[in-house]
Structure 1
């Protein structure tokens, strides 16, 4: 089968398309024929060495397709079933993948492979962060950075479904229109406007009780200054580079602020948590309250170009590799 591999950390140029043996499922595993592969920022962190991985390595942790073979003891899936997964060993950038059945889910009818691969990791991240890490209440004002991206679009729509007031930041007028159309109440062009000043203006000087920041270095100061007293800063990405260290005294002086750096996988650590998170996501998609925008697709062989597009922050919505 064809797969993407890399032997040393670096830029998108380190990604290579190679021929490798199709893996066989072991006990408790299934072989998945990939129909769509999710592209996520964490893939670029692993490729660059920001998140070190053992090399040489495959890449990618999210895909959807059809079960082609099952290992011993498998009862959760059968050959021919639709399947999607997010997490586990790296290697989803390939025509096939092997996954443990307790780390995969069965998308319901109406959720095809492309939607599942575009939504699963991003959507479960949103579910965990707005329903469990911090339970957003109706009328609560929430700051969402990179709102036109894959996570940001899902978060904006889901927050509106919960009755929140969404202040969204984006990098261009084109992206501003996208998030307006998704229901954002206020949109800030972070490259042209002072985010904290705009947030304080919108909130009458109060700031926001919670801010979700996947951008990292470039938005860190603005996010911190946008919080209300006892506000929560949820830092969950490094699109512009890692956020700087946080001085606890600064959080105290800022108004007893709270800072967290969560990862989805601590919120889907058990199969029951995984199933519940995926079910909530598929339900909100099925209801029409959250629509998944697949802004761009790339052939598997063009993974390098896909990473260049993602890291230039020129993409809108979700990005997929198609085997």
Structure 2
């Protein structure tokens, strides 16, 4: 038996309940991992609320780090005793021990501790596919401007640093002066407090009226219309989340009128759909973290049993950087 956080119906943070569950042996292509730390992400809120529905009862959570306890038939890249970390479907990381598919579980380099590993996999792999794979049709070159919303969050702070390492001029948005200063301290070239400034007007001012080549947006409904206004002709609107709610339907014809714009809705799990792709992306992430070019800022830690409060703080936008759940 092991402790786990389950929901029996979609709803608010109060639906997150600490329970005891049975953990068995891994089958073919699976591993059993004992967690040392668990990552908290906004997708966990989507699963809890039902924006992304789950079959009940459900254990949520998409990333963690720990030690491999058992390996199923056919798994060759992991062995018992390996330090490991993952961002992976199906949900289920909010627990002490789990059996799960091995495909997206990666060996964790010795230079990276368990808490960092748990805090960086989903967020860091997301930043990797955004900056390295989700690019405008005209490409990205050193000195190009990009706009990144929610830049003081877990993905955002990684993206600020990684963009600086790539030579990009990242324009950050955040909801307070403190969060803007945090983004600037982590590599953003400019920061805009969207609560006190018109970010579309400021972007045009910063870019001399040209606009940015790409907008990376995990906010959704509240930022969508103005984000399109920030793009230069042939620019790319890259949506990867819905923190403020889903984007309403829109007429594709408007994209032509605004400069022949491109729109894409990205998800990490398309990018890590194979073992080879997962490992290649993880290797890039491990390298950039181990080199010191990207530091993982763990700003909040909650014991597993305080997960309800963790969700409340995340939804209230009280958190910055990465958040983890700890295990006694």
| TM interval, short-chain normalised | over 0.9
Residue 243 (structure 1) shift: 1.6
> Is 1:40 paired with 2:41?
yes
Deviations 1:280-317 (A, max 9, x none): 00111111110000010111111111110111011000
Question: 1:3-42, aligned counterparts within 5 Å?
Answer: 3-42=4-43
Where does residue 70 of structure 1 map in the other structure? 71
Residue 271 (structure 1) shift: 0.7
Residue 209 (structure 1) shift: 0.7
Conserved? CA contact 2:163–2:187, under 8 Å: no
Where does residue 239 of structure 2 map in the other structure? 235
Residue 136 (structure 1) shift: 3.3
Relative to structure 2, which stretch is displaced further, 65-74 or 285-294? 65-74
Residue 137 (structure 1) shift: 2.1
Structure 1-normalised TM-score? 0.98
Distance, in Å, in 2 between the alignment partners of 1:73 and 1:183 is 43
Residue 99 (structure 1) shift: 2.2
| Partner secondary structure for residue 119 of structure 2 | helix
| Alpha-carbon distance change, 137 to 23 in structure 1, aligned in 2, over 3 angstroms | farther
| Partner secondary structure for residue 146 of structure 1 | coil
| Partner secondary structure for residue 185 of structure 2 | helix
Distance, in Å, in 2 between the alignment partners of 1:72 and 1:281 is 28
> Is 1:145 paired with 2:146?
no
Conserved? CA contact 2:217–2:241, under 8 Å: yes
Conserved? CA contact 1:31–1:97, under 8 Å: yes
Conserved? CA contact 1:2–1:19, under 8 Å: yes
Where does residue 122 of structure 1 map in the other structure? 123
Aligned residues: 323
Question: 1:181-260, aligned counterparts within 5 Å?
Answer: 181-260=185-264
Choose which of 161, 164, 183 in structure 1 pairs with 2:165. Answer: 161
| Partner secondary structure for residue 247 of structure 1 | coil
Residue ranges of structure 1 left out of the alignment (5+ in a row): none
Where does residue 84 of structure 2 map in the other structure? 83
| Partner secondary structure for residue 105 of structure 1 | strand
Structure 2-normalised TM-score? 0.96
Distance, in Å, in 1 between the alignment partners of 2:23 and 2:57 is 17
Conserved? CA contact 1:136–1:162, under 8 Å: no
Residue 222 (structure 1) shift: 1.6
Conserved? CA contact 2:85–2:107, under 8 Å: yes
Conserved? CA contact 2:104–2:272, under 8 Å: no
Conserved? CA contact 2:237–2:262, under 8 Å: yes
Residue 102 (structure 1) shift: 2.1
Relative to structure 2, which stretch is displaced further, 66-75 or 196-205? 66-75
| Partner secondary structure for residue 103 of structure 2 | helix
Relative to structure 2, which stretch is displaced further, 3-12 or 127-136? 127-136
